[in-house]
Structure 1
Amino acid sequence: MLSLITPILLFTGLAVGAAVQKSSSPPTCKYIPGDKGWPSAELWNRLNSTVGGRLIATHPLAETCHGDTFSSTECEYLQENWLVPDVFMLTDSDSTPLPGEILHPWFTNQTCDPFTPNMTPCELGNYVSYSIEITGVHEIVAGLSFARKNNVRLVIKNSGHECVTFPPPPPPPSVIASRFQLEQIRVLIILPFILYRVDEDTILNSYFGKSTGKGALALWTHNLNRQEVVQYKSQHYTGPALKAQSGVTGAQMAEFAFKHGYRAVVGSCPDVGVVGGFTQGGGISLMSGVYGLGADNVLEWEVVTVDGRHITATPTRNADLYWALSGGGGGTYAVVVSMTTRLFKDGTTSGAMVEFRIDSVGGVEQYWDAVGIFFDQLRSLISTYGFDADIIVTNDTLSIFSLISASHTAAELQTLMQPLVEQLEGVRKGQNNTLQQVVTSNTSDATSYFKLYSTTLEPLIAPNPLTPVLGGRFVSRANMDENPGAVIDAMRVAVDGGKFTLAVSALNLTT
């Protein structure tokens, strides 16, 4: 450390050196393997005993591509599927748990991946060193205590989607009634050189590798997956609610709620943890236009604080922690054991998919005119009916891969969408002034949200490889109303040349 600070304080180098040698203050950096203060094997073994043998040393998935563990068959499989989510989230061929893996492996900085030469050493690099498989509060308290006493970095790992949020600070309860009285269209700019997925984990996503870290101890909450329907009663809400532990995924919660006759506010990606990055990051859902964000619906949080206290946070008890967790970002304020969230009566749900291409509208300028018409018409549908739409915009194609109505049949939705389709069809006319088909569209419905989602949208999203780079922007309703041309021009610049893709979530938050 002296070599780092001496160039800055060169004129007082000797005095600083003497002071540092005599100081008994705690270290300013966390210990990593190789440091003198790194916990001994005896201490790690003692922790393993404390947590009932649930301490797991990290072995990178790609170690089968290196050194003595090399397997050409397994390595070729990893090379072909390196960005497929199931490869990182499930288990390897020997059914070995993979708690140290994350779904955005570029944060490991190629210290062990399937593309470097097989004689290159497989090193942990930015992987966590150990993980505790969490089954209850006891292991969480033990992990927190160990990390604090031994000056080891601690991270919380659930599904590994790596979502870090940048929402505004949560407001006090006195203004909660109006905190989402605005309509906004979210624009996410994504590098498209690998097929990508759109994960509605948070209000504003940026994949920063937050659930990993060199030399860290991870609290792996993925197997905390119990759920139960409860009848909740408080001064703010009385009615059905779902208590879900922190490892529950969106698909699991949606199916569980469906089986009990309800809907829950979950994201569009089936394997994103609902309680972690999704809800703690705000939680944009395909039903947010009707029910609000995921964070709007949380009734209470069950957590373990950094000092080991097992408490519950509600709007009236530990309220500051409740509001911080309700949109302030996962893995930040406490270790969440479970959350209790509102449920809604299930019923008919419909969806639409719409697409038009540059060749169908007649050229580049006509295409961008059609994009402008599309967003102009979409604003009305969102405002009036509470629809939520996920849209892909490239330099030659616009596609709604999901527009959800929480209350209309397919026939009703098709009728409501017809003005938008007719406006787009009018962009191009034939030589005899007859309309030519510009838009491809279809609608479908089901008797529940889960049935519609699991048969239409989930099969499209679940298998897609991961996004290499993601950035986000808000575009407000006011901006779209007052200066739509500039917004469309900005989209056009962003995707020009085919190097970027826009993934847009359009919704009206009114709850």
Structure 2
Amino acid sequence: MASTQSKQEPLEVLFDCSSTPALESCQPVTFKMLQFIALLPTLLVLGASTTSATLVIRQSQTYACKCYAGESCYPNTSAWQALNTTVQGNLQVALPPAAPCFNSVAGIQTYDANRCQQVRSSFSNQQWTTDHPIANMWTYWTNDTCSLYSFNPSASCTRGYYGDYVILAKTREHIQAGVNFARDRNLRLVIRNTGHDFMGRSTGYGSLIINTHSFKSVSFTTQYTGPGSYRGGAVTVGAGIQVRELYRLANARSPPVVVVGGECPTVGLAGGYIQGGGHGPMSSFYGMGADNALSFEVVTASGEFVTANEVENPDLFWALKGGGPSTFGVVVSVTVKTFPEVRTSGVSLDISSTNSAIFWQGVAALHDLSNRWVENGIQWSART
């Protein structure tokens, strides 16, 4: 997509946002692109010594590994500039969320006392983490780099398993540009909305990240008219919507409706949740999240923007309903079923005893009753 802007947009070095962040309120420190990006081949390589993409031979077939900074196949300054223009200045250099609490990251001076205090006060807040453009809910998957548990304003830290760049996508054309850029230049590509993936697929070393968190559209209908026999209520949500946002909007309807979504309020609905199957509080009544998907809007690996449902691209529709997050394309929006409001109640059962035998008797009794509860539509979970 050609940019409508006439001037070259600078890249921004990504620090944390405010303690109540939204992508629009981020005010990262800005470096002129030509001053900063020329350093990247040496700053981001993290010990790589090759000059071209490594070739791997498996079963007599030769495969090219992904290109990383420091290799001759890695995009040069002009290529990144062109991508930044195409996505209308929404390309940023990605640094770990806690970078402001360290003197430097990969040779970049990053310490900022005020920003460090914001990070320290917000780091354990799930909403802050999910709103951040690259943060991961479980830092294990980032190699615990730039950890606040060991921060030192005079020390440096590494990039860990975070990506090199992030596109803060605002339109489907931004997503298409990122997919095409990564494919044509053999770059590792990561799709991120909330960083909630238990398996760490929301981050990846040396990758180009496409952040879909800005896609916040929500549209309800009382009667779905798309392909298939279903004619009940439905809602179409953008890829950035989290279930807490959707639940509140659904409850505000007249009459209120419910949607099958995750239990954790910061889980995103449209992306990895449904593509991974999607269980939640309503699953005992209405099935998995994937069972309730009616239609997807998707950017495929070829960069095409397509609709996938029972009639259009039915194979892709089938694959997206549980085939794995970011496996078959980048979901831009999804349409799912809505249902009449379900009255619920909850109870908390604590088993506490200094006598271990009594404690485990209580746990055994809980499990003996669990199947009966589930068969009667009761969801339960255990915490230690």
Give the TM-score of the pair, scaled to structure 1: 0.58
Change over 3 Å in CA distance of 1:373–1:109 after alignment to 2: closer
Q: Which residue of 2 aligns with 1:149?
A: 184
Q: Which residue of 1 aligns with 2:164?
A: 129
Task: Give distance in 1, aligned partners of 2:357 and 2:133.
Answer: 49
Task: Give distance in 1, aligned partners of 2:370 and 2:162.
Answer: 44
Change over 3 Å in CA distance of 1:27–1:235 after alignment to 2: closer
Q: Which residue of 1 aligns with 2:317?
A: 322
Task: Give distance in 1, aligned partners of 2:358 and 2:159.
Answer: 52
Answer yes or no: is 1:139 the counterpart of 2:174: yes
Task: List per-residue Cα deviations over 1:252-281 (Å, max 9, x = no partner).
Answer: 111111122211111111111011222111
Answer yes or no: is 1:88 the counterpart of 2:145: no
Q: Which residue identity is paired with 1:269? A: C
Q: Which residue of 1 aligns with 2:138?
A: 104
Answer yes or no: is 1:374 the counterpart of 2:353: no
Task: Give distance in 1, aligned partners of 2:159 and 2:272.
Answer: 25
Task: List per-residue Cα deviations over 1:162-198 (Å, max 9, x = no partner).
Answer: 2xxxxxxxxxxxxxxxxxxxxxxxxxxxxxxxxxxxx
1:118 CA displacement: 3.5
Corresponding residue to 2:110 among 52, 63, 69: 69
Q: Residue 232 of structure 2: SS of its match in structure 1?
A: strand
1:86 CA displacement: 3.6
Task: Give distance in 1, aligned partners of 2:349 and 2:263.
Answer: 18
Q: Which residue of 2 aligns with 1:224?
A: 215
Whether the 8 Å contact between 2:235 and 2:337 is mirrored in structure 1 is yes
1:108 CA displacement: 2.4
Task: Give distance in 2, aligned partners of 1:111 and 1:366.
Answer: 42
Q: Which residue of 1 aligns with 2:350?
A: 355
Task: Give distance in 1, aligned partners of 2:82 and 2:63.
Answer: 23
1:74 CA displacement: 4.8
Task: Give distance in 2, aligned partners of 1:125 and 1:132.
Answer: 19
Task: Give the gaps of 5 or more residues in structure 2.
Answer: 1-49, 104-108
Task: Give distance in 1, aligned partners of 2:359 and 2:135.
Answer: 42
Whether the 8 Å contact between 1:222 and 1:248 is mirrored in structure 2 is yes
Answer yes or no: is 1:345 the counterpart of 2:343: no
Residues 13-412 of structure 1 correspond to what in structure 2 (within 5 A)? Answer: 28-67=64-103, 68-72=109-113, 74-75=115-116, 78=119, 82-90=123-131, 98-114=132-148, 115-162=150-197, 207-230=198-221, 231-233=223-225, 234-260=227-253, 261-359=256-354, 363-383=355-375, 385-392=376-383, 394=384
Task: Give distance in 1, aligned partners of 2:170 and 2:252.
Answer: 25
Q: Which residue identity is paired with 2:110? A: T
Whether the 8 Å contact between 1:302 and 1:310 is mirrored in structure 2 is yes
Whether the 8 Å contact between 1:110 and 1:116 is mirrored in structure 2 is no
Greater shift in the superposed pair: 265-274 or 52-61 = 52-61
1:111 CA displacement: 4.0
Task: Give distance in 2, aligned partners of 1:69 and 1:377.
Answer: 54
Task: Give distance in 2, aligned partners of 1:255 and 1:43.
Answer: 43
Task: Give distance in 2, aligned partners of 1:216 and 1:27.
Answer: 18
1:78 CA displacement: 4.3
Aligned residues: 321
Change over 3 Å in CA distance of 1:381–1:107 after alignment to 2: closer
* Larger of the two Rg values belongs to structure: 1
Task: Give distance in 2, aligned partners of 1:286 and 1:347.
Answer: 11
Q: Which residue identity is paired with 1:135? A: K
Larger relative contact order (C-alpha < 8 A, sep ≥ 6)? 1
Whether the 8 Å contact between 1:57 and 1:131 is mirrored in structure 2 is yes
Q: Residue 306 of structure 2: SS of its match in structure 1?
A: strand
Task: Give distance in 1, aligned partners of 2:194 and 2:249.
Answer: 19
Q: Residue 270 of structure 2: SS of its match in structure 1?
A: helix
Change over 3 Å in CA distance of 1:144–1:126 after alignment to 2: same
Change over 3 Å in CA distance of 1:60–1:262 after alignment to 2: same
Task: List per-residue Cα deviations over 1:336-378 (Å, max 9, x = no partner).
Answer: 011110000114222222222124xxx3223222222222223
Give the TM-score of the pair, scaled to structure 2: 0.77
Q: Residue 244 of structure 2: SS of its match in structure 1?
A: helix
Task: List per-residue Cα deviations over 1:292-322 (Å, max 9, x = no partner).
Answer: 1111111111111100121111234322211
Residues 7-18 of structure 1 correspond to what in structure 2 (within 5 A)? Answer: none
Task: List per-residue Cα deviations over 1:398-417 (Å, max 9, x = no partner).
Answer: xxxxxxxxxxxxxxxxxxxx
Per residue, is there more strand in 1 or in 2? 1
Task: Give distance in 2, aligned partners of 1:241 and 1:227.
Answer: 11
Q: Residue 98 of structure 2: SS of its match in structure 1?
A: helix
Report the aligned-residue RMSD: 2.7
Change over 3 Å in CA distance of 1:134–1:74 after alignment to 2: closer
Q: Residue 203 of structure 2: SS of its match in structure 1?
A: coil
1:110 CA displacement: 4.2
1:124 CA displacement: 2.3
Q: Which residue of 2 aligns with 1:400?
A: none
Q: Residue 145 of structure 1: SS of its match in structure 2?
A: helix
Task: Give the gaps of 5 or more residues in structure 1.
Answer: 9-15, 17-24, 91-97, 163-206, 395-511
Q: Which residue of 2 aligns with 1:480?
A: none
Whether the 8 Å contact between 1:65 and 1:113 is mirrored in structure 2 is no
